[in-house]
Amino acid sequence: MGPVVQTAHGKVRGRTEDGVSAFLGIPYAAPPFGPRRFRPPSPPEPWDGVRDAVAYGPTAPKPRYPRPYDRLLPDPIIAGDDCLNLNVWTTALGSDAALPVMVWIHGGAFRNGSGAVEVYNGANFARDGVVCVTLNYRLGVEGFANLPGAPCNRGLLDQIAALEWVRDNIAAFGGDPSRVTVFGESAGAMSVTALLSLDLGLFHRAIAQSGAGSLAQTPQDALLVTAELAARLGVEPTAEGFASLDPAAIIPIQSAVATEVAALPDPGRWGATTAAGAMSHTPVLDGELLHVLPQDAIAAGAGRGVDLLIGSNAEEFRLFLMPNGLAGLLSDDLVGPVARGMGIPQSICEAYRDRHPALTAGELLAVLLTEHVFRVPANRTADAHATSGGATWMYEFAWESPNHDLGAAHALELGFVFDNLHVEESRALAGDNPPRELAEAMHRAWLDFAVTGDPGWERFDPGARAVKIFDAAANPVQHDPRGDDRKLWT
């Protein structure tokens, strides 16, 4: 018999292995289907007796990744309606330890991912002295489409509901609700900065990995995507129209539109704010939850009381161009249209070509989009937070994978942060012999930040611009790395 914990909605039974107790698939909100579909999350129904929490719960409706990303980014699909669930790892049951808490928000371009991805297994964080939580939230049309008749940003509302569950329940698992760090990667990091900009009071530190506060759709641009989906599905472009379809019927069309937006981000067709991130669904500036871009709210002082660790990988966009062979198919005359469609000025394209004459067209586009989508927004959000008085640290992950010509690509750091280099997701990206010492350094820095508020290097400020470089060797701090390139964007 595993350990049993009383939550606000009923008792849950977990399992213990190597001193770490795991409680998996705990509902933090009711199933978002039937009359609850496209509505804000509502509390789960209480249950009698003891609910088993020994296996991951259902995942939100989503597509499978296409090849080769199905192998590089394994993303389990678990059937069931009760998909608004979370997972807890702890070593502090039955104690008054009141350990710091780390809450993970997964990435996946707002249309993939879940808390059940094994690289996010939080046992090693729990082993090292925190209570770790991972969660699911609604994705794609279900979570982020602008549907007249329904609130926008339902996926963000799910995340807030999960953080409220943590506030109300985590003490029963040995966690301290007054010491919560929220952390996430990619779309999860964009979510973190969006939540940071709302001054919710639900977390006290934040880590944003490869995502910042620069991307959100205007309602009008989001409606362009909604209209295209509705036309292909043969329904009205409203919540009622989409509710007439099973989520599984929407997924293939959603995927097709997402692929078109990413392949040729055309602001004339999809709107400038959709094309800027080359994602069909992102948070929406709805005037209810989000009024302005998160980085602008942060610059105005939102979240200044929350410590922030933010950064990116040195070669993020190689993940999207190298394994699938797209980089080799690109010619110089295609780089400009793609870059300009995403809002990169022609002058910056020309400057990067002049500075990096040896790069192929595919390599040049990877550099430009790494800067535009990840590195420059991270710098701007760090500037905004530090200037408004918030304690801020920056990092860059620079270790290069030997696999698939990835270099220091997007998502490569995940196995290092979670100290889970042994799992399939990590091996597929990082190879069979990634540097253990780098995992120890990153995992420890994230822990130290959550526990003490200091990851172990000097704070970022817009003058000195200290950045910790994680590269498996000395892991030095550099001041304004590649500053000449960065200044082009100002």
Candidate list 401, 410, 413, 443, residue with the active-site label: 410
Our answer to whether residue 424 is catalytic in this structure is no
Our answer to whether residue 410 is catalytic in this structure is yes
- Token pair listed for 135: 């969660």
Our answer to whether residue 186 is catalytic in this structure is yes
Candidate list 316, 363, 400, 425, residue with the active-site label: 316
Give 251-256 contacts, CB < 8 A, sequence gap 24+. 251/61, 251/62, 251/63, 251/140, 252/63, 253/229, 254/63, 254/111, 254/140, 254/141, 254/229, 254/280, 255/63, 255/111, 256/232
Q: Do 147 and 245 meet the contact criterion of CB atoms below 8 Å apart?
A: no
Length of the chain, in residues = 490
- Token pair listed for 267: 């602001």
The 10 Å Cβ neighbour count of residue 186 is: 26
Q: Do 443 and 418 meet the contact criterion of CB atoms below 8 Å apart?
A: yes
- Token pair listed for 196: 């940071």
Q: Which residues contact 323 (CB under 8 A, 6 or more apart)?
A: 68, 69, 72, 404, 405, 406
Distance, in Å, from the CA atom of 212 to the CA atom of 191, rounded to the nearest integer, reads 8
3-class secondary structure, 89: strand
- CB half-sphere exposure, 329, CA atoms < 13 A: 7
Candidate list 114, 186, 255, 280, residue with the active-site label: 186
Distance, in Å, from the CA atom of 75 to the CA atom of 65, rounded to the nearest integer, reads 8
Q: Do 47 and 9 meet the contact criterion of CB atoms below 8 Å apart?
A: yes
- Alpha-carbon dihedral of residues 214, 215, 216, 221, nearest 10 degrees? 130
Q: Known catalytic residues?
A: 186, 316, 410
